[in-house]
Amino acid sequence: MNTLAKLRLHDLAPEQEDFRTAVLEGLAKPHKSLPCKFFYDDVGSALFDRICELPEYYPTRTEIGILTEAASEIAALAGRGGVLVEYGSGSSLKTRLLLDALAPDVYMPIDISRQHMLGACHALARDYPALHLMAVCADYTRPFTLPRVARGGQRRLAFFPGSSIGNFAPLEALRFLKNVAQQLDPGDGLLIGVDLKKDPAILNAAYNDAAGVTAAFNLNLLARCNRELGADFDPDAFAHRAFYNAAAGRIEMHLDSLRAQTVRVAGQRFAFSAGESIHTENSYKYRPDEFRHLATQAGFAPVQTWTDAADLFGVLYLRRL
Ligand code: AVI
């Protein structure tokens, strides 16, 4: 049987934020900044995959360890069968861990990148021949309605791994969680990975790896401007800087200009003083009780929190009220 017959696409044709517009706006601000979502072109996505394997970058392997240990408890809470909804493309090992534990009738990934998501779905369709796949092309940072599926009843478990929630500012995180709550029905679950507050030395090491992969990931944003916008950034004239800002509870990533310089981007000139930075990413860290409070404000009841032995990372099961 052709397993791909079980794959359907629900295309909401999301508007893609234009890279050029975002770069020109971000560099014109008094404190220059660029949105972190633009890290993930092909080069940046490959660098991010390497980050996840780094000895200093504990989140990925720690979350996989928690999910592996908690899989049967998660299945007991969510129930087997039903619909597994993932915010993101589902190309990771974590998705397969849940597919194995929950044996859902339907897997519903949501991603703004149609091609990337369909590639991941084709691989899953081959490996899980009984699974029905409903790929939703949408911008999950904005409100939208999840399609109803005939199979699997309406019971759903939403999954948002990787502490991607940490790349939203707290108010945006609240807005995102409220959107998810609206998309679910009372009694449905949300399983979410959250990077925890900890010794800043561990956090600083995770974003300043010895092999320089995170630096290359950050600097790729300038190379991307050169490739796609005809900019003339000299990547050697900027340096990666990442540090834990304890007052804000977040890692900040910046690209620091190493000298006074002027850069041309899409025909416009931007002046940098020596030491001036472009703020490229925030990665918020939470205490488990802080995150449970946020989830409660969004309309969820915290049911279970799993952490690793060193309390580096948390996975929370929340029930939509
Ligand atoms: C995708 N996101 C959760 C990562 C993080 O840790 O905030 C992105 C990242 N930036 C640098 N290293 C990893």
Please give the distance, rounded to the nearest whole angstrom, from the Cα atom of residue 164 to the centre of ligand 1.
7
Helices 213-229 and 19-28: crossing angle in degrees, nearest 10, is 110
258-277 pLDDT tens trace: 999 999 999 999 999 999 99
Q: Is the pLDDT of residue 162 over 80?
A: yes
Distance CA 221, CA 214 (A): 12
pLDDT cut 90: percent of the chain above it: 94
Q: Is the pLDDT higher at 240 or at 151?
A: 240
Q: Is the pLDDT of residue 146 over 60?
A: yes
Q: Residue 187's CB: how many other CB atoms inside 10 A?
A: 11
Q: Is the pLDDT of residue 98 over 70?
A: yes
Given the DSSP bridges, would you call strands 277-284 and 250-257 parallel, antiparallel or unpaired?
antiparallel
Please give the distance, rounded to the nearest whole angstrom, from the Cα atom of residue 283 to the centre of ligand 1.
7
pLDDT for position 137: 96
pLDDT for position 16: 83
pLDDT for position 3: 58
CB 253 within 8 A of CB 264: no
Residue 90 — very low, low, confident or very high, per pLDDT cuts 50/70/90?
Answer: confident
Give the distance between the most distant pair of CA atoms in the chain.
63
CB 103 within 8 A of CB 81: yes
* Mean pLDDT on 227-242: 98
Q: Supply φ then ψ for residue 83, to 5 degrees.
A: -120, 125
* Mean pLDDT on 175-196: 98
pLDDT for position 92: 85
Least confident of 145-154, 156-165, 180-189, 297-306: 145-154
pLDDT for position 278: 98
Q: With a 6 A CB cut-off, is 193 part of the ligand 1 pocket?
A: no
Please give the distance, rounded to the nearest whole angstrom, from the Cα atom of residue 3 to the centre of ligand 1.
34
pLDDT for position 1: 52
DSSP 107-123: EEEEES-HHHHHHHHHH
Task: Tell which atom from ligand 1 comes closest to the C-alpha of 167.
Answer: 7
Q: Hey, whose CA ends up nearest to atom 6 of ligand 1?
A: 283
Mean residue pLDDT across the chain: 96
Please give the distance, rounded to the nearest whole angstrom, from the Cα atom of residue 317 to the centre of ligand 1.
22
Q: With the C-alpha atoms ordered 102, 106, 107, 109, is the resulting torsion angle positive or negative?
A: negative
* Mean pLDDT on 174-194: 97
pLDDT for position 56: 98
Residue 240 — very low, low, confident or very high, per pLDDT cuts 50/70/90?
Answer: very high
pLDDT for position 2: 58
Distance CA 317, CA 190 (A): 6
Which SS3 state, helix, strand or coil, does residue 159 take? strand
2-49 pLDDT tens trace: 556 699 999 999 988 899 999 999 999 999 999 999 999 999 999 999
Residue 154 — very low, low, confident or very high, per pLDDT cuts 50/70/90?
Answer: confident
* Mean pLDDT on 166-186: 97
pLDDT for position 282: 98
Q: Is the pLDDT of residue 152 over 90?
A: no
